[in-house]
Chains A and B, each alone.
Chain A
Amino acid sequence: MSSDLWGYAFARNAILASTLLGVMASTLGVFVLLRRMSFVGAGVSHAAFGGAALGYALGLDPLLSALVFSLTGALLLPSARGRLLKEDGGVGIFFSFGMALGLLVLGFLRGTRVDLFGYLFGNVLAVDLGDLVWLLATASLSLGFVLAFYRKLLLSTFDPDFARVIGVRVEALDKALLLLVSACVVVGMKVVGAVLVSAMLVIPAATARYLTSSFSGMVIASVVVGLISSWAGLWLSFELDLPSGPAVVLLSSLLFAAARIYRSLMGR
């Protein structure tokens, strides 16, 4: 990345925000992917947009209202699950409700909708110090959680019953992971937008899955892929004047395709 860009506050903020989101989302993404929770990320991001719109309409901090809205939804999600409705059904309802709410609020607000579109499609160049503080706090919490419970998270992802037998509090870990994924999605909305933020969770981890056959290798590879796509996507968006969110996600998708082809060529 061009060193003179570092001299501009907006570019510095963008680079820091992309780095924090890249590391956090790609680490949590390994668990999201292996637990088959990818749809949860998409659901939460769309619901978060509804929360942000509602906060905006009520004169509250949109990020805070999106956070409250999403975390509440994530906590209530398991209670929607039952014999007749599996978790993906609950997420689908939550997803649609949040998006419909956001669009409804957008319809009512006239003239001042640019900020809200920032949450929908993201604008990393608009990230301010307050957003960076949120990102830093969420990333520290998420990475601290993964480090503190790394082995227990791994086991409860692979074999939850065995994990329970050896004393791991699987339900508490599940809930904490869901809350952190929701928080990651909400704080990442400003960077790549509600529509694309779930891709930051899933694509680096999916790419890593094709590059390694060990769990720890997958976590490391996912973070590397997440960082490369964040930095290179940002650089491309600066150089070619492209919207940053789509540039990051498209680059990450290309890396995924390359990994998939590499794996096929290796005959595995």
Chain B
Amino acid sequence: MAEEVAVLAEDLWVELGGREVLKGVNLLVGRGELWAILGPNGAGKTTFLKALVGLIRPSRGKVSVMGLEPSRAQRLGLLGYVPQVAGFDLDFPMNLFEFVSTGLFGSTRPFGPLGRRERTRVLEAIERVGLLGMEGRPIGSLSGGELQRATVARALVLDPPLLLLDEPTSGVDVGGVGSIYELLSSLNVQGKTVLMATHDVATVMERASGVACMEGGRLVAHGRPPEVAVPVMGCLLGGEGSLLFAHGEIPHMVVRRHRGDGP
């Protein structure tokens, strides 16, 4: 059982600045799955991911990643983290190659040029996300989609079996969003477990093998997309749940009755 579990959160509570941000979250993500965590802003999605990568210590409960405590999983190269790119200083003097190579900085020599094997790893990661040929470009000159891909490449440079991504399509234009999901789906097909926080309801309902929705620090719905469509919509609507109807093939929200083949 344990070897089939990629992410396990059990009764996870997190307190920040005297406020409970996560309230008893339970979630199990199997290896090789692609899961999305949905929820309105401030629901606790980023905090949950930060607890999973060991950036935030739970006040109660426990988390394990690939069967290990997060920092140990990271040390063993089992976990790749893709933070939100919104906080990056895009004027920082760094090109794409240097940016991706920072994914190796926990294990490389303290200074000096990278070894041939390390350079190969970096170039392979850049190639996997489709940015080969752009290595010398300053990060500030990359588009939102390219920067997001570069951040995925940085997480891939140690070839971890699990990727945790925080809003991988934020700041990406509409055309780029599809290609980011294509990339994540293809990585999932190649065997990576993917768990991401996102707002792209329609896309993840179509592509993800599992969906969870958070509201006010609680996980209020989780499961296979077709099975949890209605509770997920209710979670995203918050207090509008009483006005929710669903019908037809594609899950959608109805806040007023309209013509269709359902209620």
The stretch of A100-108, A114-122, A162-170 in contact with B is A162-170
B102 at the binding interface (Cβ < 8 Å): yes
Checking B83, B89, B92, B106 against A167 with a beta-carbon cut-off of 8 angstroms, the contacting residue is B106
The stretch of A52-60, A131-139, A148-156, A188-196 in contact with B is A148-156
Chain B residue nearest to A83 in the complex (CB): B17
Which residues of the other chain, A, contact B111 by a CB distance below 8 angstroms?
147, 150-151
State in angstroms the CA–CA spacing of A212 and B53 once bound together. 34
A214–B106 contact, CB under 8 A? no
Which residues of the other chain, A, contact B81 by a CB distance below 8 angstroms?
162, 165
A46 at the binding interface (Cβ < 8 Å): no
A214–B94 contact, CB under 8 A? yes
B185 at the binding interface (Cβ < 8 Å): no
B120 to nearest A CB, angstroms? Answer: 18
A158–B94 contact, CB under 8 A? yes
B93 at the binding interface (Cβ < 8 Å): yes
Checking A147, A159, A165 against B74 with a beta-carbon cut-off of 8 angstroms, the contacting residue is A165
B161 at the binding interface (Cβ < 8 Å): no
State in angstroms the CA–CA spacing of A161 and B102 once bound together. 12
State in angstroms the CA–CA spacing of A222 and B123 once bound together. 29
State in angstroms the CA–CA spacing of A167 and B103 once bound together. 11
A34 at the binding interface (Cβ < 8 Å): yes
B75–A167 contact, CB under 8 A? yes
Which residues of the other chain, B, contact A214 by a CB distance below 8 angstroms?
93-95, 98
A165–B102 contact, CB under 8 A? no
State in angstroms the CA–CA spacing of A73 and B53 once bound together. 34
B91 to nearest A CB, angstroms? Answer: 9
A218 at the binding interface (Cβ < 8 Å): yes
B110–A168 contact, CB under 8 A? no
Chain A residue nearest to B102 in the complex (CB): A155
Would you give the 0/1 interface string for A204-216, flagging 1 where the beta carbon is closer than 8 Å to chain B?
0000010011110
B42 to nearest A CB, angstroms? Answer: 18
B138–A166 contact, CB under 8 A? no
Would you give the 0/1 interface string for A20-34, flagging 1 where the beta carbon is closer than 8 Å to chain B?
000000000000001
A159–B98 contact, CB under 8 A? no
A162–B102 contact, CB under 8 A? yes
A154–B54 contact, CB under 8 A? no
Which residues of the other chain, B, contact A149 by a CB distance below 8 angstroms?
110
B74–A148 contact, CB under 8 A? no
A78 at the binding interface (Cβ < 8 Å): no
| 21 A/B residue pairs, CB under 8 Å, sorted by A | A147-B110, A150-B110, A150-B111, A155-B105, A158-B92, A158-B102, A159-B83, A159-B102, A161-B83, A162-B154, A164-B54, A164-B55, A165-B55, A166-B105, A167-B74, A167-B106, A213-B95, A213-B138, A214-B98, A215-B93, A215-B94
